[in-house]
Structure 1
Amino acid sequence: MDDNKPVLVWLRRDLRLSDNPALTAAAASGRPVIPVFIADEIVQGLGAAPDWRLKLGVAHFDRVVRQIGGRVLFRGGAAAQVLHQLVAETGAVCVYWNRAYHPDEIARDTDVKSGLKAIGIEAKSFPGNLCFEPWSVAKGSGGAYRVFTPFWKSVRNLNVAAPAPAPKKLRGPGIWPESDDIQTWAARHGMGRGAAVVRPYLSLGEQAAWDRLEMFCEDRLPDYAAARDIPSRPATSGLSEALACGEIGARQIWHRARTLWQDGVAGAETFLKELVWREFAYHLMFHEPHILTRNWRQGWDDFPWNQDEEHPHVTAWKQGRTGIAFVDAAMREMYVTGRMHNRGRMIVASYLSKHLMTDWRIGQHWFADCLTDWDPASNAMGWQWAAGSGPDAAPYFRVFNPDLQLKKFDPEGRYRQAWIAEGDAMPSDTALSYFRAIPRSWHIRAEDTYPVPIVSPQEGRERALAAYQNRSF
């Protein structure tokens, strides 16, 4: 065997050196390693915010890889075509990658693997950014779990593979193949002027993710169970963005949190459950991929949801101008930071799907365009949970009152003040940032009068309950 024949490592959402099984295996082979990121049709189909965040992450990872002797090759085009071209250019005999679990990604990867094997190339996939492969967890009677609590009980004591350390050095090829310019590619995005506002809230790279995890475990974890529901407090880990880009591994978080749970640290079990909720979403996406695009529960397909994305109520919801303070504050937080507090996500989703009687997919698509931590499985399950049409969902008849929710979780009005400027004589900088982030075409100013509710909590609840009557879900 010629040990100078390289290994191609096809990077996707795994922008880290440690706990990267494909990269670890490539480095251990002793062969030259060529990491490559491909902007294929799936990458090109991302919404504005996740596309921009991923590009920044790839560019950052390239700088990290260069510090250990490598670099990230960048190409655009269909994955199969690009990989075949690189095999021909470099003489590579192996292509490694970490698994992805979206049905479109599975179809793509299956096609790539069969095509490479047909020309004599070793094509090998490794466990992706999950603690448990979706096919490795099943009910005692067989089949996939459909309810979270039994799923949690089945996995909480399972062994999770120990994360591999980062390679200290990568052996590069004698001559690097040509690469498109990552920086030029990363500079192209659809964020408009919002990019300058959101950028300071981003935390790029593996080291930053580890720093966040350690800070959270030391300072925030003991109060996590109660404080995570208070939107004005920085009580959560803030790792969703890093997880979405694979800048930290789920297995790494699991081992850190589970050790603390075993040590009796308050909040650790609740935090682990949140990590496993993400696993549950991927479990469902793999076994029942229709959760991404269709109502998961039977009986919802003929529900009289509004389907008009241009409806004035939908526009007001998107703009954070519903007149419902919790909804508007959460939507504005998203435009300024790229993320939204989890309690806020629940409230804005419930308000759109229940008070405004609008199809949850309209909200799902909007989040997919606006969230820097967008995740297809978690996003779909979260929206269907709020709407009542999904697995283990909030009961359809449970309609959250956003005003009461704000009084309960923001009794001093700090969250509202942080994100809503209208009517405030001295609005906060964060509230004013919203007007610098949104499109000018919205014609919204801080001096405007704050709107009256487009649909009041009571009116919306009564309308939703009337629509639910005499239906079998």
Structure 2
Amino acid sequence: MSDRPLILWFRRDLRLSDQPMLAAAAASGWALVPVFLLDPETEALGAAPKWRLGLSVEAFGKALEGVGVRLVLRRGSALDALRGLVVETGAGGVWWSRLYDPASVARDTAVKAALKAEGVEARSFAGHLLHEPWAVETGQGGFYRVFTPYWTAMRGLPVTAPAVAPTGLRGVERWPVSDRLEDWRLGAAMNRGAEVVARHQVVGEAAARSRLGAFLDGPVDRYGEMRDFPGVAGTSRLSENLTCGEIGIREVWHAGLRARDEGRAGAESFLRELAWREFSYHLMHHTPEITRGNWRAEWDGFPWRGDNPDAERWRRGMTGEPFVDAAMREMYVTGTMHNRARMVAASYLTKHLMTHWKVGLDWFADCLTDWDPAANAMGWQWVAGSGPDSAPFFRIFNPGGQAEKFDADGRYRRRFVAELSGAPGPEALAYFAAVPRSWGLVPGQAYPAPVVELAAGRARALAAYGAGKA
């Protein structure tokens, strides 16, 4: 490349440390042109994840300015935008960190082939995962379909230490013209919900690292026993930061290892949950159909309903089942949903309401600020029974029983369902300010009767399952 500049195409790796691509680029000595593209694949993101990604881009741009370079923003197809930047800057190469969802793989493969054919170095780096999805193999050289043996194999593999953040980078003398982030209007589809959800976002690398530190200073000790209780602060809440790449997974992993070595009781459980994230990407790489179709083909004929009025009640957090409704309302107020609550809400939709898991998957993809393509797909199919390492279909989460076990004092339900309290708190009321006006929901309205009686819904689901097995 001689002394030609190098374009760094950032996507879901918006951080300076634990960043293999950036570390290699800094060591090269070449002038760097950091770029973020609003291409069709990024445009296709749901309302909440696209808005949240915009916050991350803004924070990362400021971080790059602190080390001497700028983040150039361009809109359009990735190949066209990158070709234009190569011409404008005289760049000899384009580097990026790998993504693994089918749409990104198709895009990146085409970009790499085209740039190489035009004499431009096109190079991709690991960085989003602890191990590349193809790197953990069974003894026969295949991929794992069940988590426990995957975890047994993965936990013994070495993980590279995170690279330190560069203190200074070399930029170009003449910077390409950049779009203005505000002109992209990444939060347009959020409408009035953005103002509500923004109060709960923890944006940027420094904030993500502080969040990790706060978790390791206390909650990690009881993580194994408290992670299932949505009414307490028992989890790391790093999912939104990991999905945007605001903190590196190797940094989180090594911090967890240190906590485990120090005798922190819940650290092993925390590491195991990080491995679930890896497993979801392992499966998405080897079986990309998991993102849109039943992983188990025998479920293709199961009589799930398509979208329906009951599913609309579920979407609005108005099912009449307080634990389910609290989960959905938590998502509209905070942008995320506790993992236990996700399982209960997903089970209720797919089993009590007999609605196809894709209806729920698509809604979460629109509403979660921590949306992750692999985790969302595996999570929905795990609960529905159609996926790998899934919960059997006859294992139906009872929202009432789950509430008694994991929210015995009702703290979580009252926090988000205003109708359950004579004096609802600000988060319960914020739900009415976050949801679309077209829903016609206002504080003070009566809480709805249940969509379906739980025993009857369970019996209907089991009957359908039994008929399919006959």
TM-score band by shorter chain is: over 0.9
Q: Aligned partners of 1:256, 1:423: CA distance in 2, in Å?
A: 40
Is 1:357 the counterpart of 2:354? The answer is yes
1:298 Cα deviation (Å)?
Answer: 2.6
Once the two structures are superposed, the pairs formed by residues 166-245 of structure 1 within 5 Å of their partners are: 166-186=165-185, 188-245=187-244
1:251 Cα deviation (Å)?
Answer: 1.1
Residues 51 and 189 of structure 1 are in contact (CA less than 8 Å); yes or no, is this contact kept in structure 2?
Answer: no
Is 1:90 the counterpart of 2:119? The answer is no
Structure 2 residue corresponding to 1:340, chosen from 321, 337, 342: 337
User: CA offsets, 1:43-98, max 9 Å, x none?
Assistant: 00000000000011101110111111111000001101111111111000111111
Residues 323 and 453 of structure 1 are in contact (CA less than 8 Å); yes or no, is this contact kept in structure 2?
Answer: yes
User: What amino acid is aligned across from residue 345 of structure 1 in structure 2?
Assistant: R
Identity %: 54
Once the two structures are superposed, the pairs formed by residues 9-158 of structure 1 within 5 Å of their partners are: 9-158=8-157
3-state SS of the aligned residue for 2:228? coil
Aligned partner of 2:287 in structure 1 is 288
Residues 50 and 186 of structure 2 are in contact (CA less than 8 Å); yes or no, is this contact kept in structure 1?
Answer: no
3-state SS of the aligned residue for 2:299? coil
User: CA offsets, 1:241-290, max 9 Å, x none?
Assistant: 00010001111111110122233210011000110000000000000001
| Cα-Cα RMSD | 1.1
3-state SS of the aligned residue for 1:134? coil
Aligned partner of 2:397 in structure 1 is 400
Aligned partner of 1:372 in structure 2 is 369
Aligned partner of 2:423 in structure 1 is 426
User: CA offsets, 1:374-425, max 9 Å, x none?
Assistant: 0000000000001011100011111111001001111111011101111522
Aligned partner of 2:466 in structure 1 is 469
Aligned partner of 1:409 in structure 2 is 406
Q: Aligned partners of 1:259, 1:132: CA distance in 2, in Å?
A: 19
Residues 68 and 169 of structure 1 are in contact (CA less than 8 Å); yes or no, is this contact kept in structure 2?
Answer: yes
Q: Aligned partners of 2:182, 2:32: CA distance in 1, in Å?
A: 22
Structure 1 alignment gaps of length 5 or more: none
3-state SS of the aligned residue for 1:169? coil
Is 1:441 the counterpart of 2:449? The answer is no
Residues 15 and 246 of structure 2 are in contact (CA less than 8 Å); yes or no, is this contact kept in structure 1?
Answer: yes
User: What amino acid is aligned across from residue 413 of structure 1 in structure 2?
Assistant: G
Is 1:267 the counterpart of 2:266? The answer is yes
3-state SS of the aligned residue for 2:158? coil
3-state SS of the aligned residue for 1:9? strand
Q: Aligned partners of 1:293, 1:424: CA distance in 2, in Å?
A: 39
Q: Aligned partners of 1:423, 1:143: CA distance in 2, in Å?
A: 51
3-state SS of the aligned residue for 1:160? coil
Residues 72 and 179 of structure 2 are in contact (CA less than 8 Å); yes or no, is this contact kept in structure 1?
Answer: yes
Residues 59 and 186 of structure 1 are in contact (CA less than 8 Å); yes or no, is this contact kept in structure 2?
Answer: no
Residues 56 and 186 of structure 1 are in contact (CA less than 8 Å); yes or no, is this contact kept in structure 2?
Answer: no
Query: What is the total number of aligned residue pairs between the two structures?
Result: 470
Moved more, 22-31 or 230-239: 22-31
1:187 Cα deviation (Å)?
Answer: 5.6
Q: Aligned partners of 1:21, 1:7: CA distance in 2, in Å?
A: 15
Change (3 A) 1:306 1:187: closer
Q: Aligned partners of 2:236, 2:330: CA distance in 1, in Å?
A: 17
Is 1:453 the counterpart of 2:450? The answer is yes
Q: Aligned partners of 1:338, 1:30: CA distance in 2, in Å?
A: 40
User: What amino acid is aligned across from residue 439 of structure 1 in structure 2?
Assistant: P
Aligned partner of 1:318 in structure 2 is 315
Q: Aligned partners of 2:202, 2:312: CA distance in 1, in Å?
A: 30
Residues 59 and 183 of structure 1 are in contact (CA less than 8 Å); yes or no, is this contact kept in structure 2?
Answer: no
Residues 55 and 185 of structure 1 are in contact (CA less than 8 Å); yes or no, is this contact kept in structure 2?
Answer: no
Moved more, 438-447 or 344-353: 438-447
3-state SS of the aligned residue for 2:468? coil
Q: Aligned partners of 1:299, 1:120: CA distance in 2, in Å?
A: 47
1:191 Cα deviation (Å)?
Answer: 0.3
Structure 2 alignment gaps of length 5 or more: none
Q: Aligned partners of 1:52, 1:456: CA distance in 2, in Å?
A: 37
Aligned partner of 2:164 in structure 1 is 165
Residues 96 and 125 of structure 2 are in contact (CA less than 8 Å); yes or no, is this contact kept in structure 1?
Answer: yes
Q: Aligned partners of 1:17, 1:185: CA distance in 2, in Å?
A: 24
3-state SS of the aligned residue for 2:96? strand
User: What amino acid is aligned across from residue 462 of structure 1 in structure 2?
Assistant: A
Residues 50 and 371 of structure 1 are in contact (CA less than 8 Å); yes or no, is this contact kept in structure 2?
Answer: yes
3-state SS of the aligned residue for 1:163? coil
3-state SS of the aligned residue for 1:454? coil
1:128 Cα deviation (Å)?
Answer: 2.7
3-state SS of the aligned residue for 2:215? helix
